[in-house]
Amino acid sequence: MPDIDATDHALLRLLRSDGRRTYSDMAGEVGLSVAAVKRRVDRLQELGVITGFTVQVDHAKLGWTIEAFTELRYAGTTRVADIVQSASAIPEVHAVFTIAGDPDALIQLRVRDLDHLQQAIDQLRRTGNVVGTKTLMVLGSWTRES
């Protein structure tokens, strides 16, 4: 684990709340020069602490109004890599978590409507050696952004 000091953590916090914040803004916040801030952010990327920058999208505004988690159980012979590969190939799949114990995987889905959800789940069941599913419909969500 590399040495990440309090200033680095402050910069990460600032970039989390706004990934396009300028170096001069951050420099003012942490009390360093613009060049020093850029050097630290570059270093965090080289270390792999920062893996990238992205945009946050409200999927509901694009018509993908339904979010769900599906727990998958696989046949005993299924390998973890196969689970990820087959699930991630489905466009409705937003994230795949392989799990220790029961279930074997937790799949985060985003779909347009209930019909669309059923199609996505059917597709999940068909891929790999799925022996059982349980779907949790998301009513609301909160995500940390500090």
State the residues that interact with a second copy by CB under 8 A.
Answer: 1-2, 4, 12, 15-20, 47-58, 61-63, 67, 69, 80, 84, 87-88, 93-101, 103, 106, 136-145
Residue 35 binds which of a second copy, DNA, none (CB < 5-8 A, kind-dependent): DNA
DSSP 12-45: HHHHHH-TT--HHHHHHHHT--HHHHHHHHHHHH
Neighbours of 98 (CB within 10 A): 15
- Residues sharing a CB contact under 8 Å with residue 58, sequence separation 6 or more, in sequence order: none
Site for DNA in 35-54 (CB under 7 A): 35-36, 38-40
Q: What are phi and psi of 118, to 5 degrees?
A: -60, -40
Distance separating alpha carbons of residues 39 and 61, to the nearest angstrom: 37
**Min CB(9)–DNA separation in Å:** 13
Nearest CB to DNA, comparing residues 20 and 144: 20
For DNA, the binding residue among 9, 18, 19, 24 (CB under 7 A) is 24
- At position 18, the amino acid (one-letter code) is D
User: CB of residue 37 vs DNA: minimum separation in angstroms?
Assistant: 7
From a second copy, DNA, none, interface partner of 40 (C-beta below 5 to 8 A by class): DNA
Q: DSSP class of residue 58?
A: -
Judged by the rule CB under 7 A, the positions of this chain that interact with DNA are: 7, 22-25, 31-36, 38-40
